Amino acid sequence: MVEAIISGTAPQPARLAAARGLLPLPQNDLLEVLVALREAGDAEIAEAAASTLESQTKEEFLIAAKADDTSPSVLGFLATATGNERELNEAVILNRNTPDRAIAALANTTIDGSLLELIAINQQRLVRSPEIIDAILQNAARTNEAERRARETRREFFEKERGAQQIAEELRARGKTAAAEFFETAELTGAAGELSLDDAWLLAQHIEVSDAELDDSWLPSERYEELTETEEQIAANIKRIFETERVETGEISPERVSLIRRIMFMNARDRMKLAMKGDREARSILIRDSNRVVSTAVINNPRITDHEIENIAAMRTVADEVLRIISLNRAWARSYPIIHNLARNPRTPIPSVVGILPRIHTKDLKNLSQNRNVSEAVRRQATRLSQARSGQ
C-alpha cells in the first residue's frame, strides 16, 4: 500500500486519504507516506500531507528518529526540519540510516556545537561523505573538538602526499577493483609509519572481496574504540603471530614472513578491513590477531569457507569471542566437524559448549568426558549426556 501511494499508482482518493492521515497505517509507514506526498505534484495532496506532518507530536518524531526501521527519507526530513529540539537532532545523527547529505545539511545549519562534535565522532560517515567535513569546518558554531576531529579525518584520509587515493587510482586502472576500494578508505599508517607503494601492491594481491559483497552490520560503531593500539601492543601482536605460525606450521617461508610483517604493521582499522576483504592467506594470518575486532572480521568475510571455519574451530590461539560467534551461526552449527571441534576446544566458552553437546555423537561424548584439556564443567555435562543416552 505504501509503495502504491508513494509511486502514484494508488487511486487519487486513497492518496488524498493517506495525505490526511486517514488510512490505518503504522506510524513509520504514515510518516514515510507523508514525507513523500508533501512533494506530490497534486497541490491538494501536497498541502494535506504537509498539514498532517505538522500535526505530528514531538514524541512521535523522536520515536521515529530512534527506530532502526525508519525510512531514510523520513530521517532526512527530520534532519533538515527547523526548530528541532536537541534530543531529536541527536537521535537523527546517531541513526545509521540517516542519509549523509541530510547530516551535511544539519552540520551546515546547526548552532549547537555539541551536535557538531557528535557528527564529527562518526569518522566512517565523514570519510564516506567529505562534504560533512566541509560543513563542520565552515560552521561558526563548531567547537575545538569538532574542528580537531574534522581536520584530522581530512588530513588522514584526503590530504596525504602519497595517500590511499593515489594508490587506489593506480589499482583501479589495472583492473584491481576490490583492492582499489580497500585503499580508497585505508589509512596506510602503522607502527612502521606510512605504508610504502611496494607494500601496498603486495597487499593488493591478497584482496578479493568488493564493497558490494560486504555486510558490516556485525560491527556496532562503539566497537571502533577497540581499534586503537599502542606500539607495544602492535609489537606483542606481531611476535605472537610469528610464534603461533611456527608452532602450527614449523618453518615459515621468507615470502610468508614478508606478508605477515606488512599486514601486522598496518593499524588495526586497516587490518579489520583487510580481514573482511582479504583472500584465504590474509585470513589465515588475521584470524590469529590479538585484536578481537580484527579476528572477528575474518569470520565475517563473505568468501570464508566451511573448511576454514572447521580449522578455526579447532584453534587454541583464536579469541574465545570468535568461537562463540561460530557456535551461534546456524549454517556452521549444522556441520558436525565444526561443532565437534568447538566442543573439544578449551578456548570455546563453556555456555557455547554446553549448547553444542546435545548434538555431539555418543562416542565422541564419551571421549570428551575423559578429555583433560577441556573444563571440568564440560566433562561433567558430557558424562551426564552419555549416561542418559545409555540409560544409566
Residue 12 shares a structural domain with residue 145: yes
Number of domains in the chain: 3
Residues 225-256: tens digit of each pLDDT: 888 888 888 888 888 899 888 887 778 888 88
Grid cell, residue 262, equals 606488512
Please tell me the predicted confidence (pLDDT) of residue 202.
85
Residue 351 shares a structural domain with residue 379: yes
Tally Cβ neighbours within 10 Å of residue 98.
22
Residue 147 shares a structural domain with residue 176: no
Residues 324-362: tens digit of each pLDDT: 999 999 999 999 999 999 999 999 999 999 999 999 999
Please tell me the predicted confidence (pLDDT) of residue 10.
86
Is the residue at 312 inside a domain? no
Please tell me the predicted confidence (pLDDT) of residue 159.
60
Rounded to a whole number, what is the distance in angstroms from the first to the last CA of the chain? Answer: 60
**Cα gap 37→39, rounded to integer Å:** 5
Residue 131 shares a structural domain with residue 175: no
Residue 142 shares a structural domain with residue 10: yes
Question: pTM of the prediction?
Answer: 0.57
Residue 273 shares a structural domain with residue 300: yes
Domain encompassing residue 333:
318-392
Residue 134 shares a structural domain with residue 207: no
Residue 9 shares a structural domain with residue 130: yes
Rg of the chain's alpha carbons, rounded to an integer?
26
Please tell me the predicted confidence (pLDDT) of residue 161.
43
Give pLDDT < 70 ranges for the chain: 159-164, 188-197, 392
